[in-house]
Amino acid sequence: MPIPLADLAQRVGAQLQGDGSVPIARVATLEAAGPDAIAFLTNPRYRGKLQSTRAGAVIVSPASANDTALPKLVSANPYAVYAKVAILLHPREAAPAGVHPSAVIGQGARIASSASIAALCVIGEGAVIGERVTIGPACAIGAGAAIGEDSLLHANVTIYHQCTLGRRAIVHSGAVIGADGFGMAEENGRWIKIPQTGRVVIGDDVEIGANTTIDRGAIEDTVVEDDVKLDNQIQIGHNCRIGAHTAIAGCAGIAGSTRIGRNCKIGGAALIGGHLTIADDVTISGATQVFDSIDVPGMYTGVIAPLPHREWRRWASALRRLTTFEGRLRALEGTARKEQPDTRPDGEP
């Protein structure tokens, strides 16, 4: 149902400029918006599209407020305002409460009457499903697992035994939470599997992308704190701890026993070695490889720019010879010191 622009301004904490009675029913891009939609501008390169948009209203920063005569919501953080408006205009549709007849419910499982359990789900013994939880088709919830209130699991999510999700979690299809960590001991050329007896403990307001995997702890728990946002196809090893409000982009890999601080941002395909510590407020660029702990907040990048293939081969060949070059340089420096004439005054040590 459309919401007057003035009401949106009040509910999202933005400044209203222009006609507040304009009814807004949806969000859209500047190019695709119609009179019933509100669009937003965050990137200055699209400022020219403000003149041609057919949107009923726009969301802009103070710097762009004078670039259009359309009714507008003005905020220093227009993207955050857009997110709040989108939530109001496109709320998640509540699934009907109840348990589908094809679901299998283990003995002693406790399922809130307001929860929705879809077809072909398996809920393990003693599992706890909170109020207004929605569990999509073919999900598997292990024995003793717990899902906090208002959480949403899309189809084919697997939560292993004893793992816990906090309130308002969103877990996308194919995610696996609580599989065994990669714990092996080598003896006489063979591997001995180490039982993984910890859990995965996930806080409130966490979102976990499709096909992301979070391994259970070997002894202590793997912990994902409140408001962490994980993209698709991320691997988090056993015994890791991810600090609150951290966001990690797709295909990142985090080896076991690594601790990542609060408010960190980790780019796509970044690789972080095991048993490291990343401080709070660290940003790691995409495809960066981290082999040592990071103790100082800031932005870290370790990406080599692409080169034409022949040039890259010459560069790689030179890089392989750096150790040889270093040895030759040290030898030359040693020879130079030996050949340098002694200019000290007589008798000076």
Q: Catalogue the active-site residues.
A: 238
Q: How far apart are the first and last CA of the chain?
A: 92
Taking CA 250 as the corner, what is the angle to CA 244 and CA 272, rounded to the nearest 5 degrees?
A: 65
Q: Which helix (H) or strand (E) holds 15?
A: strand 15-17
The enclosing H or E element of 6 equals helix 5-12
Residues counted in the chain:
349
In whole angstroms, give the CA distance from residue 187 to residue 181.
19
DSSP 90-108: SPPPPPPSEE-TT-EE-TT
Distance CA 7, CA 21 (A): 9
Tokens of 302: 């370790």
- Single-letter amino acid code for the residue at 54: R
Can you tell me the distance from the alpha carbon of 119 to that of 116, in angstroms, rounded to the nearest whole number?
10
Q: Do the Cβ atoms of 70 and 57 come closer than 8 Å?
A: yes
Residue that the structure tokens 């710097």 belong to: 63
